[in-house]
Amino acid sequence: MSNNLKIAWIDNGIVIDHIKNESTEKIFKAMDITNKKGMISFAFNLKSKTMNSKGIIKIEDKELSDNEIDIISLFSPGSTINYIENGQIVKKHICKIPNKIDNLLVCKTTKCITNNEKNMSSSFLLKEKNNNVEAFCVYCERVFNIDELETKND
């Protein structure tokens, strides 16, 4: 158990650790915490052995949806999701960027067909490059840095 996990320990829920510092707020905002009664905390600018600085999000009594896991994986590949039950880490998942993501990111090209046709879902091919994630829209064929893009729910 790392020192960071000992702070404000939760008995059941999820702890997302090693989040890219600058992505922590974006990821936190994308988490569905409607009607959550348990403890919720997020912090960034934390010291880390492996990163310059990092963020952590802890949500008690929370199960992550596939959509939420995709968002963490896209904006902060390398993050660790710790699943906590009865005070123990029962599962760890290291987030990796998927090769392709459908129907989640919004293309920034105004004229892109995905922004103009109803029932057209977006589709991006993803690739890690120089510590960044590049997103290629398969419809308008433009390449974006992942940090430029917003998710549908924003």
Residue (of 78, 34, 92, 31) closest to 58 by Cα position = 31
Segment lying near Zn ion (by CB under 5 A), choices 62-70, 78-86, 91-99, 106-114: 106-114
Total of chain residues touching Zn ion, rule CB under 5 A:
6
- Binding to Zn ion (CB under 5 A) within 61-90 occurs at none
Binding Zn ion (rule: CB under 5 A), the pick from 14, 16, 104, 107 is: 107
105 counts as binding Zn ion under rule CB under 5 A: no
Is residue 140 within the footprint of Zn ion (CB under 5 A)?
yes
- Give, as ranges, the residues between 119 and 138 that touch Zn ion (CB under 5 A): 137
| CB of 132 closer than 8 Å to CB of 145 | yes
- Check: CB of residue 56 under 8 Å from CB of residue 23: no
**Minimal distance in Å, beta carbon 140 to Zn ion?**
3
Least CB distance to Zn ion at residue 139 (A) = 5
Strand ordering across the sheet containing 123-129: 100-102, 123-129, 132-137, 143-145
Tell which one of 74, 112, 126, 135 touches Zn ion (CB under 5 A).
Answer: 112
In the complex, least distance from residue 79 CB atom to Zn ion, rounded to whole angstroms? 26
Angstrom distances, CA of residue 55 to CA of 48, 85, 96, 104, 136: 9, 22, 17, 23, 27
Piece of the chain touching Zn ion by CB under 5 A; list 13-21, 39-47, 53-61, 104-112:
104-112
- The helix (H) or strand (E) run that includes residue 28 is helix 24-30
Shorter beta-carbon distance to Zn ion: residue 94 or 138: 138
Contact between 15 and 50 (Cβ < 8 Å) = no
H or E segment and range at residue 5 = helix 3-6
Contacting positions for Zn ion (CB under 5 A): 107, 109, 112, 137, 139-140
